A = this chain, B = another copy of it.
Amino acid sequence: MFSTKMTVFLVLLLQSCIVLASDPDPLHDYCIPIPEFSSIFPSCKNSSLVTVEDFVYSGIKNPGDFKNTGFASIPVNSAVFPGLHTLGMSFVRADFEAGGINVPHYHPRATETAFVLEGRVYSGFVDSSNRVFARVLEKGEVMVFPRGLVHFQMNVGDSPASILGSFNSQNPGSVKIPNVMFGSSIKEEVLMKAFGLNDKEVHKLRKRFVPQ
């Protein structure tokens, strides 16, 4: 009996990703997904198995790996830190070498408040009428990036800079503009018409962003 339908079923399940939930009011004090199977069924651990470690995250004490843009980030959402599940929050640590840049990007599902832990960071966002709000932030200053709006950050000091960003979604998502445009397989013709570029120019841009 289990050999046919059930097998297919389990195979399908093991290929499936985390079940959606939503960011509104939680229905329980908390819900720690069962670690190994959280990707299959959205069950909460029996509360007797929950420990304080489920609610503490220790992975952002140090910077992440720097990319060639002089930027390193460690996004911490509910997939990485299960204690956030159903609680409507997540965060990110971002580090910048001198001159390092966090390229223009936006979070489709959250507002961000960014606190400067260290350094001087030129920081800004663009509203939907294409107006830019930007300035240099000093250590201890906080900037808010409204949900879904494009924003960017650049270390304009001489020493490393560091930022803690917080989000009001357990999974805010992140869309990097250069990558979504030139690092995806959007038809060349669309890009040429959209940016007014010829095919050579588009090729050149794509080379940089498409994983080779």
Contact = CB atoms under 8 A, between A and B. Distances in A.
Nearest to A165: B166
A158 to B, nearest CB: 16
B52 A184 contact: no
Interface string A39-82: 01111111101111111111011100000010000001000010
A87 interface: yes
A164 B115 contact: yes
Interface string A183-203: 111110110011111000100
A168 B166 CA distance: 9
B24 A45 contact: no
A91 B113 contact: yes
A144 B170 CA distance: 12
B104 A146 contact: no
Greatest chain B CB density within 10 A among A8, A18, A126, A130 is at A130
Interface string A8-21: 11101101111111
Contacts of A182: 195
Contact of A134 (B27, B58, B125, B187): B187
B89 A144 contact: yes
Interface string A114-155: 010100001011111111111101111111111111101010
Contacts of A131: 47, 184-185
Greatest chain B CB density within 10 A among A112, A132, A183 is at A132
Greatest chain B CB density within 10 A among A43, A58, A101 is at A43
Given A81-B142, A106-B108, A154-B187, 6 more contacts: A23-B27, A27-B171, A56-B141, A60-B140, A177-B194, A178-B194
